[in-house]
């Protein structure tokens, strides 16, 4: 660590304290050259998440897009509750952050959203899938609903 007073390298840590939020540590240091004391803060740095689009383009991850999509899917099917939308969004984001494969594909993100919506409201799941899976015909929707029914039967057993 470079001393802010004499610009020499080298210091010793005199005291360390975790901050209230639990994501930072405050350290009191003393310079080995001039003996002056100074404070540093250490925090967790999350890696920048990147999304791989269907077109092959990469773009920075944007959680607002997930929240907006979930909100649209739930809007007409359930009482529009922000806490439910945020809860689903947060679960999806946590799954994305723990996934070791990055960049993460939009297909994977869509599947994570579908899984969370399925647990809460199957009609919302169908609404989301109609856009995400780009249904063109009633047969597409019927096949997807048949798939949901099969999954639902397996879960009940």
The helices-and-strands tally (H runs, E runs) of the chain is 5, 6
Q: In the chain, how many domains are there?
A: 2
What confidence score (pLDDT) does residue 78 get? 63
- Same domain flag for 36 and 60: no
In this structure, the strands spanning 50-52 and 58-60 are antiparallel
Task: With 0.75 as the threshold, say if the pTM is over it.
Answer: no
Measure the CA–CA gap between 144 and 22, rounded to whole angstroms: 44
5 is a domain residue? no
Measure the CA–CA gap between 108 and 114, rounded to whole angstroms: 10
- Same domain flag for 30 and 70: no
- Same domain flag for 39 and 64: no
- Same domain flag for 17 and 86: no
Cα–Cα distance list, 73 to 3, 78, 107, 109, 142 (Å):
54, 9, 17, 15, 18
Cα–Cα distance list, 85 to 82, 114, 127, 133 (Å):
5, 13, 15, 20
What confidence score (pLDDT) does residue 58 get? 93
Range of the domain at 17: 11-43
- Same domain flag for 56 and 109: yes
Residues in the chain, overall count: 157
- Same domain flag for 71 and 130: yes
- Same domain flag for 24 and 54: no
- Same domain flag for 36 and 54: no
pLDDT in tens, the chain (157 residues): 899 999 999 999 999 999 877 778 999 999 999 999 999 999 876 667 889 998 999 999 898 999 999 998 888 766 667 888 889 999 999 888 887 777 899 999 999 999 999 988 888 888 899 888 889 899 999 999 998 888 878 877 7
- Same domain flag for 86 and 139: yes
- Same domain flag for 90 and 135: yes
54 is a domain residue? yes
What confidence score (pLDDT) does residue 10 get? 94
Measure the CA–CA gap between 31 and 93, rounded to whole angstroms: 41
């Amino acid at each position: 660590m470079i001393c802010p007073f004499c610009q020499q390298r080298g210091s010793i840590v005199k005291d360390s304290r975790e901050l209230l939020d639990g994501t930072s540590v405050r350290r009191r240091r003393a310079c080995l050259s001039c003996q002056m004391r100074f404070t540093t803060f250490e925090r967790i740095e999350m890696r920048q998440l990147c999304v791989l689009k269907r077109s092959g383009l990469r773009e920075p991850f944007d959680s607002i897009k997930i929240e907006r999509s979930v909100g649209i899917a739930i809007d007409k099917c359930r009482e529009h509750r922000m806490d439910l939308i945020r809860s689903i969004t947060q679960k999806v984001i946590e799954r994305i952050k723990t996934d070791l494969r990055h960049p993460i594909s939009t297909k994977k993100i869509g599947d994570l959203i579908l899984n969370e919506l399925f647990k809460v409201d199957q009609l919302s799941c169908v609404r989301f899938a109609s856009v995400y899976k780009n249904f063109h015909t009633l047969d597409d929707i019927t096949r997807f609903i048949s798939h949901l029914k099969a999954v639902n039967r397996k879960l009940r057993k």
